[in-house]
Amino acid sequence: MIELKGVSKSYSKGKIKAVDNIDLVVNPGEIFGFLGPNGAGKTTTIKMIAGLLSHDTGEIKVDGIDIDKNPIEVKKRIGYVPDSPDIYDKLTGIEYLNFIADVYSVSEKERKDRIEYFVEAFELKNAIGDLIQTYSHGMKQKILLTAALIHNPSVWILDEPMVGLDPKSAFLLKELMSKHTKAGFTVFFSTHILEVAEKLCDKIAIINKGKIIAYGTMEEIKSQHEWESLEKIFLELTEK
């Protein structure tokens, strides 16, 4: 579960307000889609939940734990995939996964099962022993996804996770997201692909200029906007 209460964040000594007093609740068992144009505040919000950015005001809780009071406990519960596949070039894929499993204290059996599963599913078997610097964008993304899920986190936070993935892997990821929420866990992801959001999400929020301008289930949002397509609603709201 993720809860944001009155969260704000500004840059350049308050001159640029990136996130402006937002409230969000993502319940267990929900896939939450976070939409917005470039520069709207999506990545800033995601990074604040993941503990990579501090927030100026408000409160962020993951599974009921306050990130300011107990950041380590919060981090243990999160699996995070960044928007760009920045990863240690000079480690091999398997070295990186082992490292992440070590810092999340994943048992040998669990890590073996999960690594074997993901390596097979993402077709990384032949590349896993190579240095990451030889990987393509999509392969790096797959390693980051595996690393984010290796400790079976209760909350997944994925920033544009579909970018760079081949159709098969994108399909697999969507399946995994559904499976994960069926087990009572939470998925929070940002995307520019409105179709994916429309089909996959239980709830969505649209952020523009740091403010939440639409929030609710797909039905709730559509009913407020004369049952138009999500694309039309998105364009209408963000161009105001």
Partner 1 sequence: MGIFRKNILGVDRKMREFLSLLRTQMKVYYGISAMRYKYFVRKKDLWEIVLATFGIAVGGGTLLFMYIMYLNSMYLASMLINQPQLMPVTVLLLAQLLTLVFGFFWTISVFYFSDDINILLPLPIQPYKIVLSKYIIILLNEYVTLAFLMLPAIFIYGIGTNAGILYYLVSFIVFIFTPIIPLSIGAIASVLIMRFVNLKRKKDLYTVIVSILALIFFLTIQFFINRIPQNGEQQALENFILQNVNLAKMVSRSFPPALWGAVSMTDYNSLSGFLNLLIFIATSIIFTVILAVSAQKMYLKAVISGQEVEAKRKGVSLKKEIAKSSPLKALLLREWRLFIRIPVYVMNVLPVAIIIPFVFLVSFVGNSKIGPEMVIKYTSSPDGWFWVSMIGLLFSLFITGSNSLSSTSFSREGEMFYISKLMPVNPETQLKAKWIFGIIITLMVILPTFLLSWYIFKIHFLSIVILTVLMFLGISAVNILSLMIDAMRPSFEWENPQKAMKGNLNVLLSLILTIILIGCIVVIVFLLKKLYIFEIVITLIIGVLLILLNLCFYLLAKRVIKKLYKDDVGGEKNE
Candidate ranges 22-30, 114-122, 165-173, 180-188; the one touching partner 1 (CB under 8 A): 114-122
d(C-alpha 45, C-alpha 50), whole Å? 9
Residues in contact with partner 1, counted by CB under 8 A, come to a total of 54
Would you count residue 98 as binding partner 1 (CB under 8 A)? yes
Would you count residue 18 as binding partner 1 (CB under 8 A)? yes
Would you count residue 106 as binding partner 1 (CB under 8 A)? yes
Q: Which long-range contacts (CB under 8 A, 24 or more apart) does 64-72 make?
A: 64/1, 64/3
CB 8 within 8 A of CB 55: yes
Footprint of partner 1 on 76-95 (CB under 8 A) = 76, 80, 82-83, 86-88, 90-91, 94-95
145 burial type by CB count under 10 A (0-12 exposed, 13-18 middle, 19+ buried): buried
Smaller CB separation from partner 1, 125 or 179? 125
Candidate ranges 67-75, 165-173, 195-203, 225-233; the one touching partner 1 (CB under 8 A): 67-75
DSSP symbols for 161-201: TTTT--HHHHHHHHHHHHHHHHTT-EEEEE-S-HHHHHHH-
Candidate ranges 73-81, 176-184, 216-224, 226-234; the one touching partner 1 (CB under 8 A): 73-81
Least distance in Å: CB of 2 to partner 1? Answer: 16
Smaller CB separation from partner 1, 91 or 163? 91
**Residue 176: what residue type?**
L
Could you say which DSSP state residue 23 is in? Answer: E
d(C-alpha 3, C-alpha 26), whole Å? 6
Among 38, 167, 182, 219, binds partner 1 (CB under 8 A): 38
Among 5, 75, 174, 225, binds partner 1 (CB under 8 A): 75
Give me the residues paired with residue 81 across strands: 158
CB 20 within 8 A of CB 210: yes
Smaller CB separation from partner 1, 194 or 219? 194
Region label for 130, one of left (φ > 0), alpha (ψ between -120 and 50) or beta (otherwise):
beta
Candidate ranges 10-18, 171-179, 196-204, 232-240; the one touching partner 1 (CB under 8 A): 10-18
Footprint of partner 1 on 129-148 (CB under 8 A) = 129-130, 133-134
Smaller CB separation from partner 1, 88 or 171? 88
CB 114 within 8 A of CB 122: no
Which residues in this chain contact partner 1 in the complex, by CB under 8 A? 11-12, 16, 18, 38-44, 50-54, 72-73, 75-76, 80, 82-83, 86-88, 90-91, 94-95, 98-108, 111-112, 115-116, 119, 125-130, 133-134
